[in-house]
Amino acid sequence: MNKVKSSKPKKQRRFHYHKPLHRKQQSLAAHLDKKLSQQLRTRSIPLRKGDNVKVLRGTKKGNSGKITAVDYKKGVVFVDKLVRKKASGEEIPLPVHASNLLVTELDKSDAKRFGAKKPAKEGKEKTEKKSPEEKEETTGKEKAEKKKREEKGEIPRKEKKEAEKEKKKRPQEKRKRKLKRKTLKEKGS
């Protein structure tokens, strides 16, 4: 999701912590239950308030409940049954990272959430391989077209670019030769 071009860990972390909210929302996704993943034809989905989830890792492993809140800035989700009691007796919801959850049931009130999913795979259509004779025919046609262009005086774009590059290289090569001659003369004298 995060399109960072740098390979430096420092920059990777900085980009991760300073992502815009729409990118943070995409990265706050959890895997789907097997049945759901087959229905939706996707492995994971961004979490939303109202989804039912099951905790897969941590001290509260095995518990399940409904998502009450999603905090994109902190990158955590709050589940209704995961709470901790304070000394005063007040209950506080425990934050859980999305990677530790499995979605068991989705909140289907928003139609846009499921509108743009991939179509079902009915079977891959294999492309037929060309025989060597067919390949020769296509290359023969291309060669004939190229000859016609050359006769007319038309040069394809690629060939023009290559010719221009060679022209640019020629003065550079002359300069290199002159430098070599000078260095050789200086060493000889």
pLDDT score, position 60? 92
Cα(16)–Cα(3) distance, integer angstroms: 10
Run of H or E including 54: strand 52-55
Question: Thinking of the domain 9-111, which architecture would CATH place it in?
Answer: Roll (2.30)
Q: Are 83 and 91 in contact (CB under 8 A)?
A: yes
Q: Is 43 left (phi over 0), alpha (psi -120 to 50) or beta?
A: alpha
Rounded Cα–Cα distance for residues 69 and 76 (Å): 9
What's the pLDDT at 132? 60
Of 63, 4, 52, nearest in space to 30 by CA: 52
User: How far, in Å, CA of 107 to CA of 6, rounded?
Assistant: 37
Q: Which residues contact 110 (CB under 8 A, 6 or more apart)?
A: 48
d(C-alpha 137, C-alpha 176), whole Å: 45
Taking only the tens place, the pLDDT of each residue in 19-71 is 898 888 888 999 999 999 998 899 999 999 999 999 999 999 999 999 999 99
Whole-angstrom CA distances from 115 to 48, 121, 133, 177 are 16, 17, 46, 66
What stretches in the chain show pLDDT beneath 50? 1
**In contact, 51 and 67? CB cutoff 8 Å:** yes
Distance CA 33, CA 53 (A): 9
- Give the separation between CA 102 and CA 57, rounded to whole angstroms: 10
| pLDDT, position 120 | 56
Q: How far apart are CA 29 and CA 17, in angstroms?
A: 16
pLDDT value, residue 17: 86
Calpha distance 110→154 (Å, rounded): 58
pLDDT at 126: 55
